[in-house]
Structure 1
């Protein structure tokens, strides 16, 4: 499980990373709000642990933008601002839990695992973008109610795109999800599969769009 930790204190960030890694979680660390906002536009996480008092972009704005993109990843807020008003504001913006500093590492680990456990395995079995429908049980796609023939690699790319729920993913991350950490495979290979998929859906009401600096995005065409 990958966790994004957004904390500007190097000492606390290192301590939290060690604790979460010991709990068998993979941790990515960001030290400012702008960097966190950027990575959340392109990568998937099982949990976001978010400090509020961040440089460049405060934590509440990071959270507001995250939920505005319809990203439902669980968010655990960490903050020295422990007043009732602060907690209510964070929860109203879409946070799932709130932990005031100082706190015990064991409590953080327990809350993190509870949030991941609560969100794991409860997604819908059918995901739709325009007339393109994905069934997560049989891993099949249909377009205009007709089965869409795909190779295993094409299906894997399209799965990632449709499950992003309108969020972009960069080529390197998409390649890692499809090919794993196989260094013999270039991220440019993704371009081949994206090109093939575009040909197969070109006459439909959905499209794979390239967003400069962000990557690929699956979206329904405007009516």
Structure 2
């Protein structure tokens, strides 16, 4: 699971980043709001952890940018600003959790874990529960339905893995082509055929589509 951490105190940022990495998370760091927005524009993240008082663009401005992209990614504000009005602004903009500095790392672990479980139904670091009672094991690269293995080809597994990496978000045909096939020349019909075969082995709504937008797989709704 990938996290973007926005924090301008480099020593503190490094400490938090290293701790989250020991928990098994993939963490990228930004030291200012503009850098965070640039990373968000180019990458997918499962969680945003944002300080508010950072250079160039504030954490609040970064939240506005996230929402302008129609991302449903959970957001945690991590800040020393404890005034109730500041907290109200954060929640009104769309943050999901508010962690006041200073804090114990154990509290960070608990709050991050709860957000991951709430939004992605993650029972452990490898298994992601998907809509329709499907489980995807990212380590073994296997898909199960109610405990029964779904037999998929290597390329079908890669396609499922690509969509699971962007849970609850539409992935464009161009991004799928790049992430699954790389430099190999294929057209949209090839991708649609692979999606059809996966649906035939799972269910029609396992992968949802939106015309001229892309495909998506949703996490299990709690």
- TM interval, shorter chain, is 0.5 to 0.7
Does residue 49 (structure 1) correspond to residue 49 (structure 2)? The answer is: yes
Correspondence 1:160 to 2:156: no
Count of paired positions: 178
CA shift for structure 1 position 168: 6.2
The residue that corresponds to 2:214 in the other structure is 218
- 5+ unaligned residues in a row in structure 2: which ranges? 122-128, 133-142, 146-152, 195-209, 216-222
Q: What are structure 1's unaligned runs of at least 5 residues?
A: 126-135, 139-150, 180-186, 208-216
Question: 1:1-223 residue pairs with structure 2 within 5 A?
Answer: 1-121=1-121, 124-125=131-132, 153=155, 156-157=158-159, 160=163, 165-166=169-170, 174-175=178-179, 178=180, 187-189=182-184, 192=186, 194=188, 196-197=190-191, 206-207=211-212, 218=214
**CA distance change for structure 1 residues 56 and 40 in 2, over 3 Å: closer, same or farther?**
same
Question: What's the TM-score, normalizing by structure 2?
Answer: 0.63
With normalisation by structure 1, the TM-score equals 0.63
Superposed CA RMSD in Å reads: 3.8
1:74/1:91 CA distance change after superposition, 3 Å: same
1:68 CA drift (Å) = 2.8
Q: Contact 1:154 / 1:193 at 8 angstroms: preserved in 2?
A: no
Q: Distance in 2 between matches of 1:113 and 1:173?
A: 32
